[in-house]
Amino acid sequence: MTIAVSTRPGRPAASDWVRRLPEVLTIWVPLLLSAAHLIAFTLWTIWISFTPSTLVPVSGWVGLRNYSAVAASRNWQIALDNLVLFGSAFVLLSLATGLILAILLDQRIRGENVLRSIFLYPLAVSFVVTGTVWSWLLNPGLGIQKLVHDLGWTSFRFDWLIDRDMAIWTIVIAAIWQSSGFAMALFLAGLRSVDADLIKAAQIDGAGAVRMYRRVILPTLWPITITVIVIQLQFAISTFDLVRALTNGGPGIATQLPALVVYDLMFQRSLLGRGAAAAVLMLLLLLGVLLPYAAWRYVQRRRTIHA
Amino acid sequence: MRERSVAPSRILIYLILSLVAAAWLAPLAVVVLNSLRTNEEIAQGSMIGWPQHLAWSNYAAAWSGFCVAETCAGIRPYMLNSALVTVPATVFSTLLGAIAGYAVSLWRFRGDSWIYGIVTLGIFLPQQMRLLPWTIVLRDTGLMNTLTGLVLIHTIQGLSFTLLFCRNYYVAIPQELIRAARIDGAGFFRIFWRIILPLSPPILVVTVIWQFTHIWNEFLYGVTFTTGQQQPVTAALIALSAAVADIPQHGVQSAAVMIAALPTLLIYLIGGKYFVRGLTAGAVK
């Protein structure tokens, strides 16, 4: 049995293969299935996006016709506009909320654990639940507006849910409620890992609390900030459940987002080719976020190795 | 307690934190309170209010009474569906992820880093890219509109996450431990069973909580690949909202939302530390 000592064994004998069959199968079958489904599914969806498929997948080649049809559709244009607005507002606001909460919690607060749990619990519930509950709270005839009216202030208006121009902000509100805690958790971990000597040195130099954060602590947080931005953008691009439960894309198509367009094309209009094209466009949007991030991570890693 | 007067800035910090905490708890409070108010009471006022008397009957109605489409069995069958999908898929994906993570990190074999890289890329591939292929796979295997189909999807897709978690945990285990065991004649499975598994509880808890929460809360596959009585509870909640749109029953609906959210909320309450560890571990990918 001493042959098998090396961590990368050489070519084993044939009888050895038979004996090792169970472990080889256990290792490879799930991994290969998973890898194969990722590669095959991606390639297949890309292929369908170039075919004239409608109700069922068919072969054939229509070039970029599906893509131009999707890009020219009002649905997709509104979805993209919404994504830009929702993505930037949600990412910036949840980043700010998370950072402020993390800094406040880092001030040796009593009850920190309880507060942290409160800010994080929305992450444990589904977007369907979040969307449903916020659709009640933001419904002018049921929620906050109705409450204020019942209290006597009858001219109060908070009807974004049924306002075409403002409805997308209801999604921003619910998304911030759901996932600011995530940014907070990462920032808090970052704050806790700031070099204590760095802080001590700044204190000796007589830096006040505000100066300390601006000059010493916050600059160390920017790698975490970028990670949070990328993850939140990734979430924004693929948002589906939350909108389905909160506005269902409405009023009209005012809160349409790319993931809803894909679903609509594939399963409600049975335009498989166009649906696949919209899915590929979503993937490209994601890659537009993830590839620069991966490149940045790669450069960072090389830098720390060479430093 | 230190003898020190409380600075105004400290009061401000506590004030801000309490206000945000109240805002964060408000939606939960509203659902809990509404689940105890009658539909009529809510209809007369708003969704935000104190119960006049505790209407526990909402929970009974939500659990086994109200009607979605033609069936009037409440939320119970859909909760059962969710459990029958979530529990097996969590167990399978975690177990497979642990074995694969052990193989990739400690056993090492030709192509290990390649296959690891490809499988973990699955974390980033949007569901929309897989919807049509899964439709065809499920149809051709006769698993369309079955819970088994959803278990299959979540097991295979969950492997991307479970492999990442377990592999990153196992790389910290010294190779010498494995080498010594192999010299003693222990094989792949024996080492996994005797050495790796006993070291694994921390990462298995994180992985199980992560998988359970994600699969329980999943909606898109549930609504796409199942209909009617086969749907998981997330899809059923949407169907319920649509079904009662004409005659709202907000008390019963609130109770249904509470019941649907309870399993993952309980897990968060019990294993919050591990839940957060999973979140941050997933982020450092």
A283–chain B Cβ distance below 8 A for any pair = yes
- Asked if B128's CB is within 8 angstroms of A279's CB, the reply is yes
- Residue A133 near residue B31 (C-beta atoms within 8 A): yes
Helix axes B201-217, B76-102, angle to 10 degrees: 140
Length, in residues, of chain A: 307
Task: Convert the pLDDT of each residue in A52-87 to its tens digit.
Answer: 999 888 888 999 999 999 999 999 999 999 999 999
**C-alpha to C-alpha distance for A97 and A181, rounded to whole angstroms:** 8
Closest CA to B272 of A201, A181, A208: A181
**C-alpha to C-alpha distance for A42 and B33, rounded to whole angstroms:** 46
For residue B175, which residues of chain A lie inside 8 Å, CB to CB? 7
**C-alpha to C-alpha distance for B226 and B81, rounded to whole angstroms:** 11
Question: What radius of gyration do chain B's Cα atoms show?
Answer: 24
In Å, how far is A72's CA from the nearest CA of chain B?
20
ipTM for the complex shown: 0.92
CB-neighbour burial class of residue B51 (10 A; exposed 0-12, middle 13-18, buried 19+): middle
- Asked if A133's CB is within 8 angstroms of B182's CB, the reply is no
A121–chain B Cβ distance below 8 A for any pair = yes
- Residue A251 near residue A164 (C-beta atoms within 8 A): yes
Please state the rounded mean pLDDT for residues A284-291.
96
Q: Give me the residues of B, 63-82, that contact A with CB < 8 A.
A: none
Q: Which residues contact A223 (CB under 8 A, 6 or more apart)?
A: A300
pLDDT at residue A3 in the model = 42
A240–chain B Cβ distance below 8 A for any pair = yes
In sequence order, the β-bridge partners of residue A169 are none
Closest CA to A47 of A63, A30, A24: A63
Give percent of chain A above pLDDT 90. 70
In Å, how far is B147's CA from the nearest CA of chain A?
19
Length, in residues, of chain B: 285
Whether pLDDT at A277 is above 50: yes
- Supply B10's token pair: 């400290």
- Residue B270 near residue B277 (C-beta atoms within 8 A): no
B107–chain A Cβ distance below 8 A for any pair = yes
User: What is the residue type of A71?
Assistant: A
Closest CA to B116 of B155, B162, B153, B152: B162
3-class SS string, A19-84: HHHHHHHHHHHHHHHHHHHHHHHHHHHHHHCCCCCCCCCCCCCCCCHHHHHHHHCHHHHHHHHHHH
Q: Is A240 helix (H, G, I), strand (E, B) or coil?
A: coil
- Residue A276 near residue A49 (C-beta atoms within 8 A): yes
Closest CA to A47 of A281, A277, A285, A284: A277
- Count Cβ atoms below 10 Å from residue B48 Cβ, excluding itself: 20
Whether pLDDT at A4 is above 70: no
Question: How far, in Å, are B204, B270, B281 from residue B274 at the CA level?
Answer: 10, 9, 10
Whether pLDDT at A167 is above 80: yes
In sequence order, the β-bridge partners of residue B71 are B68
B15–chain A Cβ distance below 8 A for any pair = no
Q: Is A193 helix (H, G, I), strand (E, B) or coil?
A: coil
**C-alpha to C-alpha distance for B63 and B80, rounded to whole angstroms:** 11
Q: Tokens 């998988």 sit at which residue?
A: B211
In Å, how far is A7's CA from the nearest CA of chain B?
7
* Sign of the torsion formed by the C-alpha atoms of A175, A179, A181 and A186: negative
**C-alpha to C-alpha distance for A170 and A110, rounded to whole angstroms:** 33
User: What is the residue type of A241?
Assistant: D
pLDDT at residue A105 in the model = 95
A34–chain B Cβ distance below 8 A for any pair = yes
pLDDT at residue B1 in the model = 46
| More reliable by pLDDT, A171 or A11 | A171
Residue B134 DSSP class = H
Please state the rounded mean pLDDT for residues A252-269.
95
Task: Convert the pLDDT of each residue in A5-28 to its tens digit.
Answer: 444 455 556 677 788 888 889 889
Which one of A8, A35, A143 has the shortest CB-CB distance to B119?
Answer: A35
Q: Is B207 helix (H, G, I), strand (E, B) or coil?
A: helix
B28–chain A Cβ distance below 8 A for any pair = yes
- Residue B254 near residue B35 (C-beta atoms within 8 A): yes
Per-residue confidence in pLDDT tens, chain B, 285 aa: 444 567 888 899 999 999 999 999 999 999 999 999 988 888 888 888 888 888 899 999 999 888 766 777 889 999 999 999 999 999 999 999 999 999 999 987 888 899 999 999 999 999 999 999 999 999 999 999 999 999 999 999 999 999 999 999 999 999 898 999 999 988 899 999 999 999 999 999 999 999 999 999 999 999 999 998 899 999 999 988 887 777 778 999 999 999 999 999 999 999 888 888 888 776 654
pLDDT at residue B279 in the model = 81
Please state the rounded mean pLDDT for residues A208-236.
90
Residue A155 DSSP class = T
Residue A160 DSSP class = G
HSE at residue B225, side-chain half, CA atoms within 13 A, is 30
Which one of B46, B131, B224 has the shortest CB-CB distance to A147?
Answer: B46
pLDDT band at A1 (very low <50, low <70, confident <90, very high): very low
- pTM across the whole model: 0.92
Closest CA to A91 of A231, A240, A206: A231
CB-neighbour burial class of residue A56 (10 A; exposed 0-12, middle 13-18, buried 19+): exposed
- Supply A281's token pair: 């466009």
- Supply A165's token pair: 């121009």
DSSP string covering B80-98, please?
HHHHHHHHHHHHHHHHHHH
pLDDT at residue B71 in the model = 75
**C-alpha to C-alpha distance for A179 and A98, rounded to whole angstroms:** 9
Residue B247 DSSP class = S
Which one of B109, B182, B264 has the shortest CB-CB distance to A125?
Answer: B264
Whether pLDDT at A141 is above 90: no
